[in-house]
A and B are shown apart, each in its own frame.
Chain A
């Protein structure tokens, strides 16, 4: 074997050694993206049907009227918020009708309970409803309360006598509409 042939054989051997006949690798890719929308919704459970509050007569002479309460309604909400969004507030107000003279309508949202998760809101406590919106639940972040009665915040409505002398028992009562709004 000549010197040239020896060199050629050596080169061939080297090429075989470094040849990536196996273990060759290649990659390719694609993008995958998903958009999560901002969603802020709220409702009253089990329904937004009307409730009735009736002042009861005193059980004993000298006592005041019996003040009714109603705890059948619940507030549910879902908040999907953008990174820059501020926490939400639920406000309540009387948007139509008028209360009988001498009476006020009070509302308290209970603390959150239910099967939801996230940053649920905090209750403000007892408020006296008026035509102006008032906060009842604040600090609602990314959260959901669960759906239906027993989920979210229980609402307690009650009547209060603000002026006994103005009470008029001959009236047939009065109807008001309470509206809830969830917003910044």
Chain B
């Protein structure tokens, strides 16, 4: 019995307590920041957009104000973050421009959560660019897109790209 008691003592004082500290230390690793993007945009330019022979397409087409919703989440409530945006082309024409802007603040989880920037249209290129920043969990941040410089001079076919959002905890 003396042997068992000694083992328990060792377990509690020398292994379990450091293990608790170790777990506590490791908690920040588990608080992974996450971004969720819901929605997409598929648009067909109407042929009727050319109202008269001799004219080009009007060129600029705008999505709904909530075409895509972005949610930012984390296991901890208080954190600063930035969201960058870029596109990765699947089959795209370099003449076509994609622009985006934030049309609302979404649904903050708490009163101290906020979102800032990104309310003016900015072009989405193939390089990451800062879109907006924020603090704390927020759901359903609405995004509106614009396609610009669409012309009859561009081959008439289907073009596709992937819009990639990256959230970075600051």
A residues apposed to B, CB below 8 Å: 2, 4-5, 7-9, 11-12, 15-16, 19-39, 41-43, 45, 76-83, 85, 114, 116-118, 142-148, 151-152
Interface of A is mostly: mixed
Query: Which residue of the partner chain, among B53, B55, B152, B158, contacts A34 with CB atoms under 8 Å?
Result: B158
Smallest Cβ distance from A14 to chain B, in angstroms?
9
- Contact A29:B32 (CB < 8 A) given known A23-B169, A24-B168: no
Q: Is the CB of A32 within 8 A of B155?
A: no
Q: Interface size of B by Cβ–Cβ distance < 8 Å? A: 65
Q: Is the CB of B162 within 8 A of A30?
A: yes
Q: Is the CB of A37 within 8 A of B25?
A: no
Query: Which residue of the partner chain, among A2, A4, A11, A147, contacts B54 with CB atoms under 8 Å?
Result: A147
**What residue of chain B has the Cβ atom nearest to residue A151's Cβ?**
B54
A-B contact list, 26 entries, CB within 8 Å: A7-B18, A15-B29, A19-B26, A22-B169, A26-B33, A27-B164, A29-B165, A30-B38, A30-B39, A31-B163, A32-B40, A32-B87, A33-B41, A34-B96, A36-B156, A37-B47, A39-B152, A45-B54, A76-B52, A78-B55, A79-B152, A81-B156, A82-B157, A116-B56, A144-B152, A148-B54
